[in-house]
A and B are shown apart, each in its own frame.
Chain A
Protein backbone atom coordinates (compact mmCIF):
# COMPACT_ATOMS: atom_id res chain seq x y z
CA UNK A 1 0.00 0.00 0.00
CA UNK A 2 1.26 3.40 -0.97
CA UNK A 3 1.90 5.65 2.00
CA UNK A 4 -0.37 8.65 1.94
CA UNK A 5 -1.20 11.44 4.32
CA UNK A 6 -4.52 13.22 4.00
CA UNK A 7 -5.36 16.40 5.89
CA UNK A 8 -8.92 17.29 6.78
CA UNK A 9 -10.47 20.44 8.19
CA UNK A 10 -13.65 20.01 10.28
CA UNK A 11 -15.11 22.92 12.26
CA UNK A 12 -11.86 24.80 11.56
CA UNK A 13 -9.80 22.15 13.32
CA UNK A 14 -7.33 20.07 11.34
CA UNK A 15 -6.55 16.38 11.58
CA UNK A 16 -4.61 13.94 9.44
CA UNK A 17 -5.26 10.36 8.38
CA UNK A 18 -2.38 8.28 7.06
CA UNK A 19 -2.42 5.12 4.93
CA UNK A 20 -6.16 5.01 4.42
CA UNK A 21 -6.90 2.18 1.94
CA UNK A 22 -10.00 3.88 0.48
CA UNK A 23 -11.32 7.42 0.02
CA UNK A 24 -14.49 7.89 2.05
CA UNK A 25 -17.10 10.10 0.31
CA UNK A 26 -18.15 11.73 3.55
CA UNK A 27 -14.63 13.02 4.23
CA UNK A 28 -14.05 14.31 0.70
CA UNK A 29 -15.56 17.82 1.20
CA UNK A 30 -13.29 18.31 4.20
CA UNK A 31 -10.03 17.39 2.45
CA UNK A 32 -7.54 20.28 2.37
CA UNK A 33 -4.05 20.53 0.88
CA UNK A 34 -2.30 21.61 4.06
CA UNK A 35 -2.68 21.96 7.75
CA UNK A 36 -2.70 25.74 8.18
CA UNK A 37 -4.29 25.90 11.59
CA UNK A 38 -4.57 23.93 14.79
CA UNK A 39 -4.06 20.19 14.29
CA UNK A 40 -5.97 18.32 16.95
CA UNK A 41 -4.99 14.71 16.19
CA UNK A 42 -3.38 12.35 13.71
CA UNK A 43 -4.59 8.85 12.90
CA UNK A 44 -2.64 6.16 11.09
CA UNK A 45 -4.23 3.04 9.64
CA UNK A 46 -2.05 0.01 10.38
CA UNK A 47 -2.24 -3.68 9.53
CA UNK A 48 -2.02 -4.81 13.10
CA UNK A 49 -1.66 -3.54 16.62
CA UNK A 50 0.40 -5.32 19.22
CA UNK A 51 -1.72 -7.36 21.60
CA UNK A 52 -2.00 -5.27 24.68
CA UNK A 53 -2.20 -6.30 28.23
CA UNK A 54 -4.90 -3.95 29.37
CA UNK A 55 -8.06 -3.72 31.45
CA UNK A 56 -11.55 -3.12 30.15
CA UNK A 57 -12.58 0.05 31.96
CA UNK A 58 -15.90 0.70 30.27
CA UNK A 59 -18.30 -0.72 27.72
CA UNK A 60 -21.39 1.13 26.46
CA UNK A 61 -24.67 -0.60 27.26
CA UNK A 62 -25.45 -3.27 24.68
CA UNK A 63 -28.83 -1.99 23.51
CA UNK A 64 -30.33 -3.51 20.35
CA UNK A 65 -29.79 -1.18 17.40
CA UNK A 66 -26.97 0.78 19.04
CA UNK A 67 -23.22 0.46 18.49
CA UNK A 68 -21.01 -0.89 21.24
CA UNK A 69 -17.81 0.88 22.25
CA UNK A 70 -15.34 -0.81 24.59
CA UNK A 71 -12.66 1.24 26.31
CA UNK A 72 -9.49 -0.23 27.75
CA UNK A 73 -6.62 1.45 29.54
CA UNK A 74 -3.00 0.40 29.39
CA UNK A 75 -0.63 0.68 32.31
CA UNK A 76 1.13 3.49 30.41
CA UNK A 77 -2.10 5.54 30.61
CA UNK A 78 -2.78 5.16 26.88
CA UNK A 79 -6.22 4.04 25.74
CA UNK A 80 -7.45 1.27 23.53
CA UNK A 81 -10.88 1.27 21.87
CA UNK A 82 -12.91 -1.41 20.13
CA UNK A 83 -15.99 -0.55 18.10
CA UNK A 84 -18.82 -2.87 17.09
CA UNK A 85 -21.63 -1.62 14.82
CA UNK A 86 -24.24 -3.57 16.81
CA UNK A 87 -24.28 -5.84 19.86
CA UNK A 88 -23.19 -9.38 18.92
CA UNK A 89 -21.48 -8.23 15.70
CA UNK A 90 -17.75 -8.74 15.29
CA UNK A 91 -15.38 -5.93 16.28
CA UNK A 92 -15.07 -3.67 13.21
CA UNK A 93 -12.12 -1.59 14.34
CA UNK A 94 -9.46 -1.40 17.03
CA UNK A 95 -7.70 1.81 17.96
CA UNK A 96 -4.78 2.64 20.23
CA UNK A 97 -4.65 6.28 21.40
CA UNK A 98 -2.18 8.16 23.54
CA UNK A 99 -3.57 9.61 26.73
CA UNK A 100 -3.89 13.14 25.29
CA UNK A 101 -5.89 11.89 22.27
CA UNK A 102 -3.33 13.38 19.89
CA UNK A 103 -1.87 10.33 18.19
CA UNK A 104 -3.80 7.23 17.25
CA UNK A 105 -3.31 4.06 15.26
CA UNK A 106 -6.12 1.85 14.14
CA UNK A 107 -6.78 -1.49 12.51
CA UNK A 108 -9.72 -1.94 10.17
CA UNK A 109 -10.98 -5.49 10.67
CA UNK A 110 -12.55 -5.86 7.22
CA UNK A 111 -16.18 -6.26 8.24
CA UNK A 112 -17.38 -2.63 8.33
CA UNK A 113 -14.34 -0.51 7.57
CA UNK A 114 -16.16 2.74 6.82
CA UNK A 115 -18.23 2.42 9.96
CA UNK A 116 -15.12 1.67 12.04
CA UNK A 117 -13.13 4.56 10.57
CA UNK A 118 -15.91 7.09 11.12
CA UNK A 119 -16.62 5.89 14.66
CA UNK A 120 -12.97 6.24 15.58
CA UNK A 121 -12.67 9.66 13.91
CA UNK A 122 -15.71 10.88 15.83
CA UNK A 123 -14.29 9.63 19.12
CA UNK A 124 -10.93 11.27 18.42
CA UNK A 125 -12.57 14.51 17.34
CA UNK A 126 -14.81 14.64 20.41
CA UNK A 127 -12.03 13.98 22.88
CA UNK A 128 -9.24 16.01 21.29
CA UNK A 129 -11.43 19.12 20.86
CA UNK A 130 -13.11 18.95 24.29
CA UNK A 131 -10.86 21.57 25.86
CA UNK A 132 -11.09 23.83 22.80
CA UNK A 133 -14.71 24.88 23.05
CA UNK A 134 -16.13 22.29 20.66
CA UNK A 135 -19.03 19.89 21.12
CA UNK A 136 -20.29 17.24 18.78
CA UNK A 137 -24.07 17.31 19.00
CA UNK A 138 -26.85 14.94 18.07
CA UNK A 139 -28.95 17.35 16.05
CA UNK A 140 -30.47 18.18 12.69
CA UNK A 141 -29.52 21.70 11.67
CA UNK A 142 -30.67 24.06 8.93
CA UNK A 143 -29.39 27.44 7.87
CA UNK A 144 -31.94 30.15 7.20
CA UNK A 145 -31.34 33.85 6.63
CA UNK A 146 -27.64 33.50 7.49
CA UNK A 147 -28.10 31.71 10.80
CA UNK A 148 -28.13 28.09 11.93
CA UNK A 149 -31.15 26.63 13.71
CA UNK A 150 -30.51 23.40 15.58
CA UNK A 151 -33.20 20.83 16.32
CA UNK A 152 -32.51 18.44 19.19
CA UNK A 153 -34.41 15.43 20.44
CA UNK A 154 -34.15 11.73 21.06
CA UNK A 155 -33.83 9.40 18.08
CA UNK A 156 -37.18 9.11 16.32
CA UNK A 157 -38.56 12.43 17.62
CA UNK A 158 -38.68 14.00 14.17
CA UNK A 159 -35.60 16.25 14.00
CA UNK A 160 -34.97 15.46 10.34
CA UNK A 161 -38.67 15.80 9.55
CA UNK A 162 -38.73 19.24 11.15
CA UNK A 163 -35.72 20.32 9.07
CA UNK A 164 -37.55 19.09 5.96
CA UNK A 165 -40.61 21.14 6.96
CA UNK A 166 -38.45 24.28 7.18
CA UNK A 167 -37.01 23.58 3.73
CA UNK A 168 -40.46 23.11 2.29
CA UNK A 169 -41.93 26.25 3.86
CA UNK A 170 -39.11 28.78 3.90
CA UNK A 171 -37.26 29.43 0.65
CA UNK A 172 -33.51 29.68 1.14
CA UNK A 173 -33.44 27.11 3.95
CA UNK A 174 -30.59 24.63 3.57
CA UNK A 175 -29.79 21.45 5.48
CA UNK A 176 -26.35 21.91 7.08
CA UNK A 177 -26.19 18.52 8.80
CA UNK A 178 -28.78 15.90 9.72
CA UNK A 179 -27.24 14.09 12.68
CA UNK A 180 -23.85 15.17 14.06
CA UNK A 181 -22.91 18.81 13.54
CA UNK A 182 -20.11 20.41 15.56
CA UNK A 183 -20.88 23.44 17.73
CA UNK A 184 -18.13 25.80 18.81
CA UNK A 185 -17.99 28.46 21.48
CA UNK A 186 -15.53 30.96 20.04
CA UNK A 187 -13.18 33.17 22.09
CA UNK A 188 -15.43 36.22 21.55
CA UNK A 189 -18.37 34.36 23.16
CA UNK A 190 -20.25 33.75 19.92
CA UNK A 191 -21.49 30.28 19.00
CA UNK A 192 -21.24 28.75 15.54
CA UNK A 193 -22.48 25.47 14.12
CA UNK A 194 -20.43 23.58 11.52
CA UNK A 195 -21.23 20.86 9.04
CA UNK A 196 -19.26 17.64 9.55
CA UNK A 197 -18.43 14.36 7.79
CA UNK A 198 -20.94 12.62 10.07
CA UNK A 199 -24.61 13.03 9.29
CA UNK A 200 -26.39 9.77 10.18
CA UNK A 201 -28.33 8.23 7.31
CA UNK A 202 -28.49 11.48 5.29
CA UNK A 203 -25.47 12.09 3.07
CA UNK A 204 -25.08 15.79 3.96
CA UNK A 205 -21.38 16.52 4.41
CA UNK A 206 -20.86 20.25 4.14
CA UNK A 207 -17.82 22.40 4.70
CA UNK A 208 -20.01 25.29 5.84
CA UNK A 209 -20.90 27.01 9.08
CA UNK A 210 -23.21 29.66 10.51
CA UNK A 211 -23.79 31.56 13.75
CA UNK A 212 -26.38 29.74 15.85
CA UNK A 213 -29.73 31.55 15.86
CA UNK A 214 -31.53 29.25 18.28
CA UNK A 215 -31.54 25.71 19.66
CA UNK A 216 -34.92 23.98 19.69
CA UNK A 217 -35.62 20.80 21.63
CA UNK A 218 -38.38 18.81 19.93
CA UNK A 219 -40.97 16.64 21.60
CA UNK A 220 -43.82 14.84 19.85
CA UNK A 221 -47.28 16.03 20.88
CA UNK A 222 -50.84 16.01 19.48
CA UNK A 223 -50.61 19.83 19.18
CA UNK A 224 -48.06 22.58 18.41
CA UNK A 225 -46.70 24.70 21.22
CA UNK A 226 -43.39 26.51 21.70
CA UNK A 227 -41.88 27.67 25.00
CA UNK A 228 -38.68 29.58 25.72
CA UNK A 229 -36.44 27.65 28.11
CA UNK A 230 -34.54 28.93 31.15
CA UNK A 231 -30.75 28.61 31.02
CA UNK A 232 -30.74 25.58 33.29
CA UNK A 233 -33.20 23.70 31.06
CA UNK A 234 -31.18 24.66 28.00
CA UNK A 235 -28.13 23.16 29.66
CA UNK A 236 -30.06 19.94 30.34
CA UNK A 237 -30.99 19.75 26.64
CA UNK A 238 -27.34 20.16 25.66
CA UNK A 239 -26.24 17.45 28.09
CA UNK A 240 -28.79 15.09 26.62
CA UNK A 241 -27.78 15.81 23.04
CA UNK A 242 -24.03 16.25 23.26
CA UNK A 243 -22.17 13.10 22.28
CA UNK A 244 -23.25 10.67 24.97
CA UNK A 245 -20.02 8.73 25.27
CA UNK A 246 -18.05 10.96 27.63
CA UNK A 247 -16.18 8.77 30.06
CA UNK A 248 -13.25 11.08 30.79
CA UNK A 249 -13.52 13.17 33.90
CA UNK A 250 -10.51 15.29 32.99
CA UNK A 251 -12.35 16.52 29.89
CA UNK A 252 -15.48 17.48 31.82
CA UNK A 253 -14.26 21.02 32.63
CA UNK A 254 -13.91 21.81 28.95
CA UNK A 255 -17.32 20.39 28.06
CA UNK A 256 -18.95 22.32 30.91
CA UNK A 257 -17.33 25.64 29.89
CA UNK A 258 -18.52 25.12 26.33
CA UNK A 259 -22.08 24.24 27.31
CA UNK A 260 -22.29 27.13 29.79
CA UNK A 261 -21.05 29.55 27.11
CA UNK A 262 -23.61 28.24 24.64
CA UNK A 263 -26.41 28.63 27.21
CA UNK A 264 -25.36 32.22 27.87
CA UNK A 265 -25.24 33.17 24.19
CA UNK A 266 -28.02 31.25 22.46
CA UNK A 267 -31.80 31.20 23.09
CA UNK A 268 -33.28 27.75 23.77
CA UNK A 269 -36.84 26.65 23.07
CA UNK A 270 -38.94 23.55 23.56
CA UNK A 271 -41.25 22.75 20.67
CA UNK A 272 -44.02 20.27 21.37
CA UNK A 273 -45.20 19.48 17.89
CA UNK A 274 -46.90 17.52 15.19
CA UNK A 275 -44.95 16.71 12.02
CA UNK A 276 -46.81 19.40 10.04
CA UNK A 277 -46.33 22.77 8.33
CA UNK A 278 -47.94 24.64 11.22
CA UNK A 279 -45.21 23.38 13.56
CA UNK A 280 -42.53 24.78 11.26
CA UNK A 281 -44.41 28.09 10.86
CA UNK A 282 -44.82 28.50 14.61
CA UNK A 283 -41.19 27.57 15.26
CA UNK A 284 -39.76 29.79 12.54
CA UNK A 285 -41.86 32.80 13.56
CA UNK A 286 -40.87 32.45 17.21
CA UNK A 287 -37.15 31.69 16.95
CA UNK A 288 -36.55 34.03 14.07
CA UNK A 289 -38.58 36.95 15.40
CA UNK A 290 -39.79 37.78 11.91
CA UNK A 291 -42.99 37.48 9.90
CA UNK A 292 -43.49 34.30 7.93
CA UNK A 293 -43.98 34.33 4.20
CA UNK A 294 -47.73 34.31 3.46
Chain B
Protein backbone atom coordinates (compact mmCIF):
# COMPACT_ATOMS: atom_id res chain seq x y z
CA UNK B 1 0.00 0.00 0.00
CA UNK B 2 0.96 3.62 -0.38
CA UNK B 3 -0.11 7.08 0.79
CA UNK B 4 -1.87 8.87 -2.07
CA UNK B 5 -0.37 11.91 -3.75
CA UNK B 6 -1.49 15.21 -2.22
CA UNK B 7 -1.79 14.21 1.44
CA UNK B 8 0.62 16.10 3.64
CA UNK B 9 1.53 15.78 7.30
CA UNK B 10 1.79 19.21 8.90
CA UNK B 11 2.85 20.29 12.36
CA UNK B 12 0.24 22.42 14.11
CA UNK B 13 1.22 24.13 17.36
CA UNK B 14 2.83 20.99 18.80
CA UNK B 15 0.33 18.58 17.27
CA UNK B 16 0.16 16.83 13.89
CA UNK B 17 -2.48 16.96 11.20
CA UNK B 18 -2.90 15.47 7.73
CA UNK B 19 -4.52 17.63 5.09
CA UNK B 20 -5.20 17.22 1.37
CA UNK B 21 -3.32 19.72 -0.79
CA UNK B 22 -3.18 20.62 -4.45
CA UNK B 23 -5.30 19.51 -7.36
CA UNK B 24 -5.06 15.79 -6.63
CA UNK B 25 -6.88 16.26 -3.28
CA UNK B 26 -8.72 19.51 -3.94
CA UNK B 27 -12.03 17.90 -2.89
CA UNK B 28 -10.72 16.39 0.35
CA UNK B 29 -12.26 18.89 2.74
CA UNK B 30 -11.31 17.08 5.93
CA UNK B 31 -8.42 17.18 8.31
CA UNK B 32 -7.02 14.22 10.25
CA UNK B 33 -5.43 14.60 13.63
CA UNK B 34 -2.41 12.30 14.24
CA UNK B 35 -0.79 11.29 17.49
CA UNK B 36 3.02 11.18 17.77
CA UNK B 37 3.39 7.52 16.81
CA UNK B 38 1.08 7.81 13.79
CA UNK B 39 3.01 10.90 12.66
CA UNK B 40 6.30 9.02 13.10
CA UNK B 41 5.03 6.15 10.95
CA UNK B 42 3.69 8.56 8.32
CA UNK B 43 7.04 10.34 8.01
CA UNK B 44 8.80 7.04 7.50
CA UNK B 45 6.54 5.60 4.81
CA UNK B 46 5.37 8.66 2.88
CA UNK B 47 6.11 8.35 -0.82
CA UNK B 48 6.97 4.64 -0.55
CA UNK B 49 5.26 1.29 -0.92
CA UNK B 50 4.88 -0.35 2.48
CA UNK B 51 3.30 -3.32 4.23
CA UNK B 52 1.74 -3.85 7.65
CA UNK B 53 4.94 -5.61 8.69
CA UNK B 54 7.01 -2.55 7.75
CA UNK B 55 4.88 -0.45 10.08
CA UNK B 56 5.09 -3.01 12.89
CA UNK B 57 8.89 -3.05 12.58
CA UNK B 58 9.04 0.75 12.63
CA UNK B 59 6.80 0.89 15.67
CA UNK B 60 8.77 -1.78 17.56
CA UNK B 61 12.06 0.02 16.73
CA UNK B 62 10.87 3.23 18.28
CA UNK B 63 8.50 2.26 21.07
CA UNK B 64 8.61 -0.42 23.76
CA UNK B 65 5.75 -2.51 22.56
CA UNK B 66 5.18 -6.21 21.93
CA UNK B 67 4.87 -7.43 18.34
CA UNK B 68 1.22 -8.38 18.93
CA UNK B 69 0.36 -5.02 20.41
CA UNK B 70 2.19 -3.23 17.58
CA UNK B 71 0.27 -5.24 14.98
CA UNK B 72 -3.06 -4.38 16.67
CA UNK B 73 -2.19 -0.68 16.78
CA UNK B 74 -1.03 -0.61 13.19
CA UNK B 75 -4.16 -2.41 11.94
CA UNK B 76 -6.36 0.06 13.77
CA UNK B 77 -4.48 3.03 12.35
CA UNK B 78 -4.52 1.66 8.80
CA UNK B 79 -8.28 1.08 9.05
CA UNK B 80 -8.72 4.79 9.80
CA UNK B 81 -6.42 5.85 6.96
CA UNK B 82 -8.34 3.58 4.59
CA UNK B 83 -11.70 4.84 5.80
CA UNK B 84 -10.66 8.37 4.83
CA UNK B 85 -9.33 7.33 1.42
CA UNK B 86 -5.73 8.23 2.13
CA UNK B 87 -4.20 4.96 0.92
CA UNK B 88 -3.97 3.36 -2.49
Known: A235-B31, A240-B29, A249-B6. A260 touches B12 (CB 8 A): yes
Cα–Cα distance between A249 and B6 once the two chains are bound (Å): 8
| In the assembled complex, A5 has its CB within 8 A of some CB on chain B | no
| A204 in contact (CB, < 8 A) | no
1/0 contact string of A148-164 vs chain B (CB within 8 Å): 00000000000000000
Within 8 Å of chain A (Cβ to Cβ): is B53? Answer: no
Q: Is the interface of A mostly helix, strand, loop or mixed?
A: helix
- Give the one of A231, A256, A263, A264 with max B CB within 10 A: A256
CB-based contact B31/A231 at 8 Å = no
Contact A235 B8, CB 8 Å, known A247-B23, A249-B22, A249-B23: no
A239: interface (CB < 8 Å) = yes
Contact of B12 among A231, A248, A249 (CB under 8 A): A231
- The A/B interface has a contact count, at CB < 8 Å, of 45
Q: Which of B11, B15, B19 is the one whose CB lies under 8 Å from A239?
A: B19
A residues 233-255 with Cβ under 8 Å of B?
A: 235-236, 239-240, 246-250, 252
Q: Does A232 contact B (CB under 8 A)?
A: yes
Q: Are B12 and A235 in contact (CB under 8 A)?
A: yes
Q: How far is the CA of A256 from the CA of B11 in the complex (A)?
A: 9
What are 23 A-B contacts with C-beta separation under 8 Å? A58-B26, A61-B27, A231-B12, A231-B15, A232-B15, A232-B31, A235-B12, A235-B17, A236-B31, A239-B19, A239-B31, A240-B29, A246-B26, A247-B22, A248-B23, A249-B6, A249-B23, A249-B24, A252-B8, A256-B10, A256-B19, A260-B12, A263-B13
- Measuring CB to CB, which residues of chain B are less than 8 angstroms from any residue of chain A? 6, 8, 10-13, 15, 17, 19, 21-24, 26-27, 29, 31, 33
